[in-house]
Structures are given as C-alpha cells and as structure tokens.
Amino acid sequence: MAGVDATGVPKLRRRRDAFANAARQAALALLAERGYANFSLADVAVTAGIHRASLYRRWPTKSALVADAIATAIPVSPGDALSAHGGRLEELARALARFIESPVGRGVVRLLLALPDDLELEAATRNAWTELMGGEPGEAGVDPELPLAQFTVAGAILHRVFVERQSVTDRYIAALVKSVQPYGTDTVETSPNLAEIPPDNQGH
C-alpha cells in the first residue's frame, strides 16, 4: 500500500517519530554532557542531524523540548510493586539506581537541583521524578506508609552517586533497604552502617 511501510505503519508517521526521537535523544545527551544552561536548540539540531526550522516548528522553546524529552525518558514506574517488605522496596531502589547512574538520569538530577525559572520545565521535571518514585502519597495504589522509606532510599542513592562518587552495587542496595525497613514494617532490625561497605570490592 502506498505510503505504508512493510510493518503497516504510515511512512510519514515513522519519519516524524524518528525525527522526534532524534531530537529528544540529542537534547538529553546535551543535558547530561553540558547542563541545561549550556546548550541551545541549534546545538540540538546539529547533534541530531536535523533541520533547525523543523525543530523550532515542533518545539518553539528549549524548555518545551527538554520537558518532552524528560517525560519520555523516565522508565516505567515501579509504583504498582512498591512495598516496604523485602524485595519490593529493593525493586524501587534498583530502578532509582539504574536511572540516576545513567547519563540521562544524571542530567535530570542536576536539572532538579538547579531548576531555571521556567514553570513548564519545572513541572515536567518534578512530574518525571514523581513517576520514578512511584507516585504521590494518597494516589490509588500508593502505600501511605512508604514516602519516608522511598525518599530515604532516594537520598542515600543520590548521595552515593553525586557526593561519594561511587557506584550503587547490589550489596549496597541490600544494606540500604535493610536499614530503612523499620519505617515500613513492624520489625525493627539493626541498621547496617552503609559507610562501612567498601566502595570498589563489590560485584553487581
């Protein structure tokens, strides 16, 4: 059929999707590499190998493009599996660690820490972080007892990556989850000292 590729997808749609994905990936790469303030839409066009005019038609501002790119970059929320019991909180910790340690995640975190005065971008970035954290307390399917455990885990992982500049290993995650279990369970266990976990002698 004319105008349709072998998979049945209209060729025009496929071209538009490819264009949008190239622009988003370029924006995220530049965000991670340079920080939000240090690139322009023109830089995105050059990096993606696309026409600048087409880029401006789709996203008239840099914040609009970055907000769109961030919204599509966040992995599927682990919120429906969240629980402070055993491996489910550990599942959230692993999802957070994978994202925060990725180039895109580092860029998003830096943006969260120094948001420009742009309401659209601020809303998109904060919404993306909320999705990654598994939703807001009070939403359907979100355990109201979890927020303290969630944000304790997130804070520890952020500290590990950005302050200690160490990788988040399986052993670290297991110790971290054990240390916050009292916030969401009836069993209070002795919290391990995370600082005593050697940084470079653990395998994933």
Whether residue 201 is predicted with pLDDT greater than 80 in this model: the reply is no
Sign of CA dihedral 190, 196, 199, 203: negative
* CA angle 28–32–34, rounded 5-degree value: 110
pLDDT in the model for residue 123? 75
* Cross-strand bridge partners of residue 10: 4
Nearest to 24 by CA among 57, 55, 60: 55
CA dihedral 88, 89, 95, 96 (to 10 degrees): 170
pLDDT in the model for residue 85? 42
User: Which pLDDT tens digit goes with each residue over 102-155?
Assistant: 887 887 777 777 766 677 777 777 776 666 665 554 444 444 555 677 778 888
More confident residue, 146 or 38: 38
Above pLDDT 70, what percent of the chain? 64
**Top-ranked range on mean pLDDT: pick from 13-22, 82-91, 107-116, 129-138:** 13-22
Using CA atoms, how far apart are residues 177 and 149, in angstroms rounded to an integer? 9
**Top-ranked range on mean pLDDT: pick from 58-67, 94-103, 146-155:** 58-67
CB atoms within 10 A of CB 10: 12
User: Which pLDDT tens digit goes with each residue over 142-157?
Assistant: 445 556 777 788 889 9
pTM: 0.61
Q: What are phi and psi of 135, to 5 degrees?
A: 105, 170
Above pLDDT 90, what percent of the chain? 22
Q: How far is CA 30 from CA 52, 89, 125, 188, in A?
A: 16, 32, 16, 45
Whether residue 56 is predicted with pLDDT greater than 90 in this model: the reply is yes
Report the run of H or E that residue 179 belongs to, with start and end. helix 170-184
What is the overall mean pLDDT for the chain? 74
Using CA atoms, how far apart are residues 81 and 137, in angstroms rounded to an integer? 14
Written in H, E and C, the secondary structure of 79-109 is HHHCCCCCHHHHHHHHHHHHHHHCHHHHHHH
pLDDT in the model for residue 53? 94
Residue type for position 66:
V
Q: Spell out the domains of the chain, with CATH numbers in brackets.
A: 11-72 (1.10.10.60), 75-196 (no CATH)
